[in-house]
Structure 1
Amino acid sequence: MKIVFPLLSSLLLAPTSWAELVKKTISYHDGDTQFDGVLVFDDSLKDPAPAILMVPNWMGVTEASIEKAGQVAGQDRVVFVADMYGAGVRPQNAQEAGQQAGKVRADRDLMRRRANLALETLLAQKAPLDKSRTAAIGFCFGGGTVLELGRSGADLDAIVSFHGDLVSPTLERDADKMKGSVLVLHGAADPFVPQEDVTAFEQAMLTTEVDWQLVQFSNTVHSFTDPEAKMEGKAEYNETTAKRAFRYMDDLFASIFEK
């Protein structure tokens, strides 16, 4: 399903101004490699809440990604920020981020394994989370990662990609392995994920029975949810699109988690 039309205005995720936000570093391992993710939820949360895996952009686990996780968590979700590079591997600039993201992109088995490991780590926590209500969201590199996680057959209720990569070496073969609802939020003028990639993704998804949506936003390029993105005409924050995109995510979660 493809949606390309002007959207109604909506509210961006509000700053977390309520009870104290729990931000707990969780270490986990893949063989000898240690990873340090961050579990985020409001400490007033008592009842089991949806468990959301969040894969950040190519900068990895940063203060900005943890803050975004807090906004996604709000008062009624538990979010785990996945570490896709390994403990201590924290890019300091775009060049370093590109190198680390490139290594993971080049090995899709590695990408899938690390994403699945992060999901397993989230679900193993004793936080007030509901293992029967799960989702994975990602931004840029992370958006492509959660789609790849879905193609691995991960048991998720929802997958949401914000300005993520849409291509995959096994796109056509593995598209039908995706479970739950898939929501792709894309800038129609994104030069890093061009319309050829969008078309290839659509064609692959049309061969499946997956519940999916692709939303394209006009006058929007890459990284539209990132206030730090300032590559004019290539990767730029777009406040209006960001508000609309997060509302799409919230609406999807409401439809599947609040029945």
Structure 2
Amino acid sequence: MSANIILFHSVLGLREHERHLAGKLGAAGHAVSLPDLYAGVATDDLEQGFAIKARIGWEVICQRARDALASTPGDTVLAGISMGAGVVASVWALRPLTAKVLLLHGLATVPANIRPGLPVQLHVADTDPFFPEPDVRAWQHAAEAAQTDVRIFRYPNSGHYFSDPALPDYNDTAAALLWQRVLAFLD
């Protein structure tokens, strides 16, 4: 079954990696929206990415996400990469019919009005400096308390952006496993 998916990019901006992922999802039969929350600015440098985010401002980024969602069906899958998971958190409560939630390299606050049984997947490195094990466990407890159908996948020997071949954290084995699991989740 094909899904409508909106994929929010990381703090690095909309880059070739996200376009490649959208193409991969499209080739699997899914319709993918890929909003550019930075309006054309992107980088491969994490510090520059945080500077861009600060310059644009979180409220503007989240408003751009809401604007992008306005033209999508209510059951669109919400997906986010790293900072994009935070963007998912900013819109999740506004989308009660969301079919699924996919979080890559980042956590999203679980809203109070979540639909019980909502399928949610989280994919993070087991030694991710941004999302250490205690934070992931706390997030899991919140997701389970909200009665989501949550699956968490931790990837050993991987850095934060382990699925992005353009970055130093890339881990080919972990990335292949992540995308195998993601495609199965979306089908």
TM-score when normalising by structure 2: 0.83
In 2, the alpha carbon distance for the partners of 1:147 and 1:203 equals 16
Please give the residue correspondences for 1:38-117 in structure 2 after superposition, counting only pairs within 5 Å: 49-85=2-38, 87-88=39-40, 90-92=41-43, 93-102=45-54, 107=59, 112-117=62-67
CA contact (8 A) 1:175 1:205 kept: no
More strand as a share of residues: 1
In 1, the alpha carbon distance for the partners of 2:57 and 2:145 equals 24
Q: CA separation of 1:210/1:105 partners in 2, compared to 1, >3 Å: closer, same or farther?
A: farther
Secondary structure (helix, strand or coil) at the match of 1:246 reads helix
Match of 1:155 in 2: 97
Deviations, residues 135-167 of structure 1 (Å, cap 9, x unaligned): 122211113322443244453101111111x26
Give me the identity figure in percent: 22
CA contact (8 A) 2:78 2:88 kept: yes
In 2, the alpha carbon distance for the partners of 1:140 and 1:242 equals 15
How far off is 1:61 after superposition? 1.9
Which letter does structure 2 place at the counterpart of 1:140? S
In 1, the alpha carbon distance for the partners of 2:57 and 2:94 equals 14
Would you say how many aligned residue pairs link Structure 1 and Structure 2? 184
Larger Rg: 1
Q: CA separation of 1:75/1:245 partners in 2, compared to 1, >3 Å: closer, same or farther?
A: closer
Q: CA separation of 1:156/1:221 partners in 2, compared to 1, >3 Å: closer, same or farther?
A: same
Match of 1:118 in 2: 68
Deviations, residues 158-184 of structure 1 (Å, cap 9, x unaligned): 1111111x26xxx4xx53333431110
Please give the residue correspondences for 1:225-236 in structure 2 after superposition, counting only pairs within 5 Å: 225-230=163-168, 236=169
In 2, the alpha carbon distance for the partners of 1:105 and 1:239 equals 33
Match of 2:156 in 1: 218
RMSD between aligned alpha carbons?
Answer: 2.6
Which letter does structure 1 place at the counterpart of 2:42? P
Q: Which of the numbers 84, 90, 102 marks the counterpart of 1:142?
A: 84
CA contact (8 A) 1:176 1:205 kept: no
CA contact (8 A) 1:116 1:154 kept: no
Structure 2: give runs of 5+ residues left out of the alignment. none
Structure 1: give runs of 5+ residues left out of the alignment. 1-47, 124-130, 231-235, 255-259
In 1, the alpha carbon distance for the partners of 2:57 and 2:126 equals 23
CA contact (8 A) 1:54 1:137 kept: yes
In 2, the alpha carbon distance for the partners of 1:252 and 1:64 equals 20
How far off is 1:112 after superposition? 4.4
CA contact (8 A) 2:164 2:170 kept: yes
In 1, the alpha carbon distance for the partners of 2:164 and 2:173 equals 12
Q: Which of the numbers 118, 129, 134 marks the counterpart of 1:191?
A: 129
How far off is 1:76 after superposition? 1.0
CA contact (8 A) 2:14 2:42 kept: no
